[in-house]
Amino acid sequence: MARARGPLRIVSLVPSLTEAVAVTVPGALVGATDWCSHPVGLDVTRVGGTKNPDVPRIVALAPDLVVANEEENRAPDLAALRAAGVEVLVTEVRTLDQAFRELARVLAACGAGRPRWLDEAEAAWRQAPRPAARLRAAVPVWRRPWMVLGRDTFAGDVLARLGIDNAYAAHRERYPRVPIDELTSADLDLVVLPDEPYRFTGEDGPEAFPDTPVALVGGRHLTWYGPSLVEAPAELSEALRAAVR
């Protein structure tokens, strides 16, 4: 007789997916990166960063599945896991619609049915408020050197759904370096500053753009795809509206 299997053992190398799995399949997650901050109080083995995971530690956890992302995680690390006999599911998320599809795929692979929060997130984005006029914005994601959202990014698509056109959406690079004098002289209606990956704050970032309205937004709402998508349209819209009132 075959031995009965217990619940799937999952390791997540992506903060967004960590939250999605932990909320949807309680107890299944056995490992996550040092950057996986949600749900708050998550008690699992930490396996290093998204770019430098501890492969032997992950293998020692004997996971049934490792969930990863083609942008956040490095191909050599994922190849090393596969070479060790670990199954790896790699997601690709460049748009909001793609995020919804990939979340459903990951959760199904983790043995879960479709969660209510995913339906609520899709509904929230269908009803997301739109401004009366579209705004042109730059979205710095790093400082020293300054880097911005370029082409083909999830965060850029999120902002586009809310009426914000990324000034660098046609750039050949996805995260181009842009001199600050170019940013400050650009024809922009708005600068959007998230609090991750660089932690922009009211005291660190807005002072560089004295002549342009600045919206400080939560990086989790702008760049994460998971349960935070339920509240993201309302939270982001309020921050964007407040900046241009």
Same domain, 47 and 139: no
Residue 3 lies in a domain: no
> Which tokens belong to 131?
């401004």
Q: What is the CATH number of the domain that holds 182?
A: 3.40.50.1980
Same domain, 134 and 237: yes
Same domain, 139 and 42: no
Examine the fold and report which residue of 114, 145, 174 is the final residue of a domain before the chain moves on: 114
The pLDDT tens digits of the residues spanning 195-219 come to: 999 999 999 999 999 999 999 999 9
Write down the mean pLDDT value for the chain: 94
The pLDDT tens digits of the residues spanning 46-93 come to: 999 999 999 999 999 999 999 999 999 999 999 999 999 999 999 999
Under the banding of pLDDT at 50, 70 and 90, the label for residue 6 is: low
Beta bridge partners of 195: none
At residue 102, φ and ψ (nearest 5 deg) are -70, -35
Q: Which long-range contacts (CB under 8 A, 24 or more apart) does 1-7 make?
A: 7/111
Examine the fold and report which residue of 114, 149, 178 is the final residue of a domain before the chain moves on: 114
Please report the pLDDT score of residue 172 as a whole number: 93
